[in-house]
Amino acid sequence: MSTASVPLPAWINYGVIPLINLILAFFFSGLVVWLIGENPFEALKYLVIGALGRGEGIGFTLFYTTSFIFTGLSVAVAIHAGLFNIGSEGQAYLGGLGAALVALSLDHYVPWYVTMPFAVIGAALFGAACAAIPAWLQAYRGSHIVITTIMFNFIVSSLMNYLLVRVLIVPKAMAPESRTFLEGGQMPKLDWLISMFGGKLGAAPLNFSFLIALVMCYLVWLLIWRTKLGYEMRTLGHSPTAAGYAGMSYKKIVMITMLISGGLAGMMALNPVMGASARLQIEFVGGAGFVGIAVSLMGRNHPAGIVLSALLFGILYQGGAELSFDMPAITRDMIVVIQGMVILFAGALEYMLRPAIVRAYQQITGK
């Protein structure tokens, strides 16, 4: 209680505390690795080299990062208006349908850069549509957005199952997936970006969506801190009564916020669907929507923080995959444990160490 009100300088709040949390997470992960009889330092080495060692590793890392930026932004936008959107997973999944429909209908006729803007819009529209019903229920009927967005994850999952198995599947094919898009329906790879730093992208799926994600970071920052709508969202997020006093429409803000949030989640689909596999596959989101919650929390709901924490999770995903390859004792599930540690310490227990750090800071500065 007494330390919560003590202000700390920004470099401690946004630098030292997250760093210490991260070190703790790695320490406990190391402990787990050591317990199953492997050398934690070796493991860390494999993880880092796997994620950042070669151009291809970096390409994979940034590919994952791209997805997490989109979903992280999606969660953050909603949080600023006081809404907890757990549905980014489903919104991204439905966004994939939007992107795929655009790609399937245009790829025969036009080059990728003509398809691209329509695909962005398509993905965003479908993602937003998926968020629209929970938003409406919250705004007009008072059902809780957390519950309804979770339910929509299941609804979308079943819907996509049906569509892929019955409708979009290539006739006579075994796998429930759409046909492969032609070049006009694909996002180009970013070989040049990696070669700028002297690396080789190789088979890594890093693609143009990465740049779209960065643009979205800027736009979200602009929205939240530089627009009238963002001001209204933040007012509502901090104090619904003050928003009412100021004449801001609760219903309108909830609807718009959730549509934007869903749209950002939907855009995540561009990355795997049009950038990596060039087709719509079953369960392609693979949990990125849920990772987005951790990414947003860790990044303090700020686009700059989200880029950094998305990168961290990108490294964990890619490095983790390499690690389980190099150290068979460390299975895929172990990687999930390590990721869980990061979420636990950097996200959920974010403030655990704050009182101690405040005391230390007060002693050092002699206050």
Partner 1 sequence: MSLDTQNEPAIELVGIDKTFGTVHANKNINLTVAKGSIHGIIGENGAGKSTLMSILYGFYQADHGEIRISGKPVSIRDSQTAISSGIGMVHQHFMLVENFTVLENVMLGAEGGQLLRKGVASARKELKRLEDDYGLEVDPDAVIEELPVGNQQRVEILKALYRGAEILILDEPTGVLTPAEADHLFKVLRVLRDQGKTIILITHKLREIMAITDTVSVMRRGEMVATRKTSETTVEELAELMVGRRVLLRVEKGEANPGKVLLSVKNLTVKDSRGVTMVDDVSFDVRAGEIVGIAGVAGNGQSELLEAIAGIRKPTSGEILIDGKPIAGADPAALRELGLAHIPEDRHHMGLVLKFEEYENSILGYHRDARYGRGAMLNLDGIRKSAEEQIAKYDIRPPNPRLKTANFSGGNQQKIVVAREIERDPTVLIIGQPTRGVDIGAIEFIHKRIIEMRDAGKAVLLVSVELDEIRSLSDRILVMFAGKVVGEKSGEAGEQTLGLMMAGIAA
Ligand X SMILES: Nc1ncnc2c1ncn2[C@@H]1O[C@H](COP(=O)(O)OP(=O)(O)OP(=O)(O)O)[C@@H](O)[C@H]1O
> What residue ranges bind ligand X (CB under 6 A)?
5, 7
Q: What tokens were used for 168?
A: 């979009």
CB of 362 to partner 1, least distance (A): 7
For tokens 């299975």, the residue is 331
238 contacts which partner out of partner 1, ligand X, none, CB within 5 to 8 A by kind? partner 1
CA 198/CA 121 separation, integer angstroms = 34
Q: Are 295 and 268 in contact (CB under 8 A)?
A: no
- Kindly state the smallest distance separating residue 4's Cβ from ligand X, in Å: 11
- Partner whose binding site includes residue 6, from ligand X, partner 1, none (CB under 5 to 8 Å by kind): partner 1
SS (H, E, C) 172-189: CCCCCECCCCCHHHCCCE
Q: Which two tokens stand for residue 106?
A: 């245009």
363, interface contact from ligand X, partner 1, none, CB < 5-8 Å by kind: none
Q: Which is nearer to partner 1, 175 or 242 (CB)?
A: 242
Which CB atom, from 2 or from 158, has the smaller least distance to ligand X? 2
The least distance separating partner 1 from the CB of residue 24, rounded to whole angstroms, comes to 25
Looking at the Cβ atoms of 69 and 78, the one nearer to partner 1 is 78
- Sites of contact with partner 1 (CB under 8 A): 1-2, 5-7, 226-229, 231-232, 234-235, 238-239, 241-242, 244-249, 362, 367
| Nearer Cβ to partner 1 (223/293) | 223
Which of partner 1, ligand X, none binds 245 (CB below 5-8 Å, type-dependent)? partner 1
Q: How far apart are CA 295 and CA 343, in angstroms?
A: 8
Q: Which of 221, 248, 184, 188 is nearest to 76 (CA)?
A: 221
The three-state secondary structure class of 347 is helix
* Dist. CA 173–CA 6, nearest whole Å: 63
| Minimum distance of ligand X from residue 2's CB (angstroms) | 12
Closest by Cα among 49, 13, 9 to 320: 49
Count Cβ neighbours within 10 Å for each residue of 296-320 and write b for 16 or more, e otherwise: bbbbbbbbebbbbbbbbbbbbbbbb
Which among ligand X, partner 1, none contacts residue 242 (Cβ within 5 to 8 A by kind)?
Answer: partner 1
Q: How far is the CB of 58 from ligand X (least distance, A)?
A: 43
Nearest to 27 by CA among 325, 345, 260: 345
The listed partner (partner 1, ligand X, none) that binds 234, CB under 5 to 8 Å by sort, is: partner 1
Least distance CB 366 / ligand X (angstroms): 18
